[in-house]
Amino acid sequence: MEISIKTISTFSLLLPLLFSLSSASTVDQSFLRCLDDHSDPSSPTSAVLYSPNNSSFSSLLQNYLNNLRFNSSSTPKPQFILTALNVSHIQAAVVCAKSHSLQIKIRSGGHDYEGLSYRSDFSDFFILDLFNLRAVDVDAGAGTAWVEAGAILGEVYYAIAEKSAVLGFPAGVCPRVGAGGHFGGGGYGNMIRAHGLSVDNIVDARLVDARGRLLDREAMGEDLFWAITGGGGYSFGVVVSYKIELVPVPPKVTVFRVTRLYTENLTNLVYRYIEAAATELPPQLFIRMSLDVVNVSNVATNRARFVAMFLGASGELFSLMHQKIPELELKETDCQEMSWIESVLFWSSFKPGTPTTALLNRKPPKVDYLKRKSDYLKKPIPKPDVELMLRKMVELQAPELVLNPYGGRMAEIPSWAKPFPHRAGNIAKLQYATNWEEGGEVAANQYVNLTRQLFDFMTPYVSAAPREAFLNYRDLDIGINDNGRDSYEQGKVYGLKYFKENFYRLVKIKTIVDPDNFFKNEQSIPVSLK
Q: What angle in degrees, to the nearest 10, is found between the helix axes of 487-499 and 502-513? A: 130
Check residue 363 and give its pLDDT. Answer: 87
Q: Are 126 and 242 in contact (CB under 8 A)?
A: no
Quick one: pLDDT band at residue 2, thresholds 50, 70, 90? very low
DSSP notation for 406-449? --GGGGTS-TTSSS----TT-SEEEEEEEEE---SHHHHHHHHH
pLDDT average, residue stretch 57-78: 91
Check residue 529 and give its pLDDT. Answer: 79
Alpha carbons 243 and 228: distance in angstroms, whole number = 12
Q: Count of CB atoms within 10 A of residue 386's CB?
A: 21
> pLDDT (tens digit, 9 = 90+) per residue, 204-237?
999 999 999 999 999 999 999 999 999 999 999 9
Q: Count of CB atoms within 10 A of residue 35's CB?
A: 25
* Domain residue ranges in the chain: 3-129, 253-338+368-461
Which residues, 6 or more positions from 221, have their beta carbon under 8 angstroms from its beta carbon?
none
The third-level CATH classification (topology) of the domain covering 253-338+368-461 is Vanillyl-alcohol Oxidase; Chain A, domain 3 (3.40.462)
**Based on the number of CB atoms within 10 Å of its own CB, is 445 exposed (0-12), middle (13-18) or buried (19 or more)?**
exposed
Query: Taking 50 as the threshold, does the pLDDT of residue 14 lie above it?
Result: no
> pLDDT (tens digit, 9 = 90+) per residue, 359-404?
999 988 889 999 999 999 999 999 999 999 999 999 999 999 999 9
Residue 382: what are its φ and ψ, rounded to 5°?
Answer: -55, 145
**Based on the number of CB atoms within 10 Å of its own CB, is 225 exposed (0-12), middle (13-18) or buried (19 or more)?**
buried
Alpha carbons 424 and 373: distance in angstroms, whole number = 21
Check residue 69 and give its pLDDT. Answer: 94
Instruction: Say if domain 3-129 classifies as CATH 3.30.43.10.
Output: yes
Using the Cα atoms of residue 268, residue 172, residue 168 and residue 419 in order, give the sign of their dihedral.
negative
pTM comes to 0.94
Alpha carbons 8 and 323: distance in angstroms, whole number = 48
User: What percentage of the chain exceeds 70 in pLDDT?
Assistant: 95
pLDDT average, residue stretch 439-451: 97
> pLDDT (tens digit, 9 = 90+) per residue, 28-53?
889 989 998 998 899 988 889 999 99
Distances (CA, A) of 278 to 257, 287, 413: 18, 9, 15
Query: Taking 70 as the threshold, does the pLDDT of residue 107 lie above it?
Result: yes
